[in-house]
Structure 1
Amino acid sequence: MDAQLEIKAESLAGKKQKSLLWYKIKKNPMTILGFSLIFILAALALFAPWITSYDPIKINMAERFQPPSASHWFGTDEVGRDIFTRVIYGARLSLGASITIVVVAGLIGSVIGAIAGYFGNWVDQIIMRIMDMLLAFPTLVLAMVLAATLGPNLINAMLAISIVKIPVYVRLARGEALSIKKKLYVVAAKTFRVNDFYIIIRHIIPNTITPVIIQITLDLGDTILLVATLGFLGLGARPPAPEWGTMISTGFKHMLEQWWYATFPGLAVFIASSGFNLIGDGLRDILDPKSAR
């Protein structure tokens, strides 16, 4: 009975906290700005076929290296492709890849961390030592090594970055699990010999979702930069895919004569990264007022 009352009390507290969170978000102009920037980029990516009539990969040598104009807002590249079209189609790749990476890393990391925190002992020791080994390497260097080992393409780059990001979520979920497993309803479930994995799925993992979501928003800005960096280094999406990092890499060679080529994809990376960082910082400040001081 006490366990049921505790579950109901936590459910009501959760609903009240969500309402308060939404109220605080609306009162934070920088967080609203972040959401607005990402919403605009997402809308451009979603409605790209209706926004522009150009093909993002079709070659038109007659219009190569055209400067920004009324017909080509961001100019054209070395084979006459419209850069504005490639930037908004590239949002599908860059945003989609980044969101997929952090969601996959968050889900896998949450499950592994929940298992480590719940079982403890040798299970916890083995898992956490492996995570410590991964965290010992600089994020970008490890992602480059994994991407180069797996082969240079976008899927392998996403897999490499996901592996690099997993330890952060494992440590976060483990810390939450260590606290949650002491709750009365978890102790009661163990007393009645409920299956351990059912307890993890039913009680432990759902209660780690909120901090994991906050961490995901904080990681998205960094992940956008990692995806673009691997693309710039030739370890991400392959041409003619309209991925921002790959476009910057090619446009950088023509930077002095055709400044617009690398500038506009670079601005897209900056806006996306800034938008996600504003959202993440805003949510962190709202949930942890001490961090804003």
Structure 2
Amino acid sequence: MNAYIFPGQGAQFSGMGLDLYENSAEAQELFEQANHILGFNITDIMFEGSADDLKQTKVTQPAIFLHSVILAKTLGSSFKPDMVAGHSLGEFSALVANGTLNFEDGVKLVSQRALAMQKACELQPSTMAAVLGLDDDIVEKICATTEGIVVAANYNCPGQLVISGEIEAINKACETLKEEGARRALVLPVGGAFHSPLMEPAREELAAAIENTTFSKPNCPIYQNVTANAVTDEAAIKNNLISQLTAPVRWTQSVQKMIDDGASLFTEVGPGKVLQGLVKKINRASETASATFEGNL
């Protein structure tokens, strides 16, 4: 079975999507539609902007979403997913790819999500840290016993977990994690504590937008971050998408469940190869690939 996976924040690079724009009339049309919806020319930043330009919250999330979704749309008849999943932001790309969301609504929701998260970050200084070389249960226990808000946020692969929370609590937890034998406990250069209770203001704001958006019956299951299970019910998909901002990304568990359900090939759609690397660390025997577009102009 063919599983298609969609990357999240951090996969952006200068020049992303330019090959699609230059070689596909359909891609050009979709990029220009996105410029109109967003109210600024995101294509200028994607194609020619610096790394700092691409780090702007209002740019990063829509840029990765557009690269992934437009690439999927230009694959034509070769794009036949049996199942999809996306890492954090990538879940929105996956939902357009499997027909749950239309393109325009996807662009709007991702833009609203990015701005809501930015506002939540400004309300309270917070951060995230990558923890390498410890079992998940040890990291979870240390988070639970550290004073302040600090939680497990991204279960990326065995031995790689990202924690999220208040700056002081993250720093204390990192010290304890190193004492417990973590190979690394490194604070990340991110704007705030994503996938933690500190994103509650963003969750509330995004919930209203999601509730007012039409979700269609998907053409294949999506394995959502919150549950790590196959979901096809539109109401459940909405609820999981709303919960995602304050709940952990269960990527390890999602990939394992997809394998258990018959996934034999994982194709990453979008910038970079980060997810392929994580899949290999979750199950070395899994076959992975990057979606590629040959051009039709």
Q: Which structure has the larger Rg over C-alpha atoms?
A: 1
TM-score (normalizing by structure 1): 0.28
